[in-house]
Chain A
């Protein structure tokens, strides 16, 4: 029994041993497989998993950089930054939310509605996610809050910076900033890496144009976060880099002064240095409050802005399109002289109207101007005179001159809102209207009506290029420190009055592009403009400066809204008797001082009636202000000239 049992046991043991051997072999294979897997994960793919683990572990919060400032010509900040005081709350750090809100309400004066909104938001989000209690606190509220901070668990005072503007005088040029919208992210590529929630970007004006450079470089806070997104500890902070600052050619004092002058009017003013094209002032009225856009716009204010028929949001100086009216007569006369159509002393008789193929063309002076030559034609702004020469000149030659002087194309390339206007000719009409040109339309074009469309800044440039003796200038609003050679050339000319340079040398030595064939023609136009402003009978004679220091030469204009009916013409209806909406836009262009031109100005008053009455008085005041500050400006220019 025992031996049998033990024999059985021996056989069993052998069997068990054999089978165990198979299992052990299998185990060895599996073990090798496990080690292989470890090698694959921890050695071959370690870098990949390392970065995946870091991706889990770190999360970055972007920090909005400080926006660059924009300065005027005298380094006064016209768009700057101010500290912004905010209050955030981290709900999980608060012991008793309800109690906390009672305390906060007492300290900060938050409405019941806001409190219940905040409480609802807190319930929706994770307890460690901060919630903004107040976006923009006054300093006094903020300091009071800090006083009670020790008893307000979970409340965090935050100081950051936000855009601020000293006033609304340059609102249109500078534009405004406000929060990034979904559309901005789609359209502006540079925002892809920059977008920080709550960051403000430029929406219009220079703020928009300069946005990419003025925003600066984004900073970040890198945190270690757990699987639920809670921040565990701060790993690294990079505050980013403040944006680039820009200096403009604008004069803040003139902006302020002009803005005050235009108050309550729908109007625009543009002032330009006739030599280097510096825009000294660019004001559109009525203006808006740019500071109101920064922390989210009040709905009522927005509605009042878009409903106002004077269109405060549009920059009339750049994007307002108006027929140039009689201000174009300077160019019509110049074109006719240059093309040899007329001589300065050629005369026409103005009887108040002419007839062409049965259609009547009226002069603004019903009685007529009598015998009119070029100087008198411009001085009195005689329509009949210009009908006659326009008829001879033809619209195509006129349009060529007008384009050469800057009409029909954008003046600055800094603003997307700028319009290019229209300089009509026969080809243009065929292309855009699909009809042939009529002679009658040439007559309308000769007095700046009809299809002509221009912006106030184009008229200012036109005037500046006449004032500087007929040389092309490139207007600029950002002060780039470069000086063009026009002033140098004038100095050379003064020193060598008897040796005028031939045109090709002018181009070669001074990089100047003359816009005339014969400079004498330019001088004739300037003289005529002088008589218009300074001799009895001139259209703006009443608003001249007596002081020779401020004497300007200008040209009035009015752009027609509605043609007079025969009945109105018979009844001699005055502009101010019409409905506001039906009155003509008043225009005035000028340069000053007459003897030694420095600045050109264009003034537009929407529905102001006649240029002589509504626009010239504004120009008179602005010219005085600008010339009073000329010395200061010249000093800065000289300083910059030396530094180049």
Chain B
């Protein structure tokens, strides 16, 4: 268990290749290919803009995933704070130079792509907190003094993103951070206290909500409230999924999306489209793929030795799970429409980049599982 450092650092290329988790890679690839077909269907059975750029992005970021995998985990540990701070600066610059689209300022124009730093922050915050809790000793974890920095690191991007406004992504970012803190051993009572505090602050928070956000929540509670307005998306999504039945309507035959009844079919509602065309069994297959990916990440967390690696893998797996579940619950009418993409499946460069980046570090944990990070 305690082998000399020098032996472990001297991993050959062959060892690295062999220690890749091929089941995880294969699962990602299969999901990626499925997402390409789904995207092809949203374009009405043609290779149009969305399909082409989705395919390109998938392979570019899939390549990036391998690149990141082969970089030592120590490097990612050492640069964690830097990465977090860089993303934070990007978030700040969105505030000032961001592109505004449909009422919210979320993107930075990088000329070759529009970057959404809030997506990257999902991974950035996990990296930051994993390193933080890796470094402090177990007895300090629950002292108030050492709780301050994580709280600031969590709240700061949360506010920046929530005011873009993008409530959905800010909640998803926060959930990742909370998971790291929980895994690191922060006492349950802190979570209970902050939960109670949030409930108490809820009325105040509601008064800050934009009218459209309030309407989304009310609509979620009763979609028939406004079937042609805010309730439209939930209703049409449920119709699409329900009408898919056991086996689905067949590839390229999803009438709900083909005839434009389905909103946002490229991004948030891509699962709806897939589920309409491939039915219950298709949906189940997607769920299984996601379960497989998540369990492989957890397995890597089990294998890796460093607390940093464990914290990171477990947290990322849980965050990944939350992204998937929130998106699915949303399109299945179990949650309000908050605007969260489905990892890997949804159209969107930043989301794809962020997920592949996160998965790359997971794979790095696998390859360098026995190498201490400090």
Contacts and interface: CB of A to CB of B under 8 A. Distances in A.
A and B: interacting chains: yes
B301 A52 contact: no
Nearest to B313: A20
A42 B244 contact: yes
A226 to B, nearest CB: 4
Contacts of A35: 284, 287
Interface stretch (A5-13, A559-567, A629-637): A5-13
A403 interface: no
Contacts of A49: 238-243
A8 B243 contact: no
Interface string A20-36: 10011001001100110
Contacts of B302: 17
A16 interface: yes
A8 B184 CA distance: 12
Nearest to A228: B260
Contacts of B261: 56, 226-227
B183 A16 contact: yes
Nearest to B1: A6
B287 A41 contact: no
Interface string B279-318: 1100110010001001000100110011100110010001
B67 interface: no
A23 B179 contact: yes
Interface string A410-421: 000000000000
Q: Which of B183, B246, B294, B318 has the most CB of A within 10 A?
A: B183
Interface residues of A, number: 41
Contacts of A501: none
A8 B301 CA distance: 17
A4 to B, nearest CB: 9
A13 B138 CA distance: 10
A39 interface: yes
Interface stretch (B7-15, B47-55, B96-104, B327-335): B327-335
Contacts of B241: 38, 41-42, 49
A37 B283 CA distance: 11
Contacts of A15: 138, 184-185
Interface residues of B, number: 47
B144 interface: no
Contacts of A224: 255, 259
Given A9-B306, A16-B314, A34-B328, A53 B256 contact: yes
Given A16-B185, A49-B242, A37 B314 contact: no
Contacts of B236: 56
B325 interface: yes
A39 B280 contact: yes
Contact of B246 (A11, A45, A46, A53): A46
A20 B259 contact: no
Contacts of B197: none
Contact of A24 (B137, B179, B279, B298): B298
Q: Which of B259, B280, B283 has the most CB of A within 10 A?
A: B259
B292 to A, nearest CB: 12
Contacts of A118: none
B307 A30 contact: no
A42 B237 CA distance: 12
A419 to B, nearest CB: 52
Q: Which of A15, A42, A227 has the most CB of B within 10 A?
A: A42
Contact of B301 (A20, A226, A228, A232): A20
A27 B310 CA distance: 18
A41 B306 contact: no
A57 B138 CA distance: 60
Nearest to A9: B307
B245 interface: yes
B243 A53 contact: yes
A508 interface: no
Nearest to B134: A12
Contacts of B294: 27
A48 interface: yes
Nearest to A42: B280
B138 A11 contact: yes
Contacts of B307: 9, 12-13, 16
Contacts of A225: 259
Contact of A20 (B2, B242, B243, B298): B298
B259 A56 contact: yes
Contacts of A45: 242
Nearest to B185: A15
B59 interface: no
Contact of B255 (A8, A17, A57, A228): A57
B321 interface: yes
A27 B319 CA distance: 11
A505 interface: no
Interface string B249-289: 00000011001110000000000000100011001100100
A50 to B, nearest CB: 5
B259 A48 contact: no
Interface string B6-43: 00000000000000000000000000000000000000
Nearest to A15: B185
Nearest to A46: B245
B28 to A, nearest CB: 19
A57 B325 CA distance: 29
B245 A43 contact: yes
B259 A41 contact: no
Given A8-B137, A37-B332, A46-B245, A13 B310 contact: yes
Contact of A38 (B179, B321, B332): B332
Given A16-B314, A49-B242, A227-B261, A31 B287 contact: yes
A233 to B, nearest CB: 10
B242 A50 contact: yes
A19 interface: yes
Contacts of A6: 2
Contacts of B280: 38-39, 42-43
Interface in A211-227: 224-227
Contacts of A42: 241-242, 244-246, 275, 279-280, 283
A501 B301 CA distance: 117
Contacts of B310: 12-13, 16-17
7 contacts: A2-B2, A8-B138, A12-B307, A34-B329, A37-B329, A49-B241, A50-B245
Interface of B: 2, 137-138, 179, 182-185, 236, 238-246, 255-256, 259-261, 275, 279-280, 283-284, 287, 291, 294, 298, 301-302, 305-307, 310-311, 314, 318, 321, 325, 328-329, 332, 334
Q: Which 9 A-B pairs have the closest CB atoms?
A: A49-B242, A53-B243, A226-B259, A46-B245, A42-B280, A227-B260, A49-B243, A41-B242, A227-B261
Interface of A: 2, 6, 8-9, 11-13, 15-17, 19-20, 23-24, 27, 30-31, 34-35, 37-39, 41-43, 45-46, 48-50, 52-54, 56-57, 224-228, 232
Given A35-B287, A43-B245, 20 more contacts: A8-B138, A15-B138, A15-B185, A20-B314, A23-B182, A23-B314, A27-B294, A27-B321, A34-B329, A38-B280, A41-B241, A42-B275, A42-B280, A46-B242, A48-B242, A49-B239, A49-B240, A53-B256, A56-B259, A224-B259
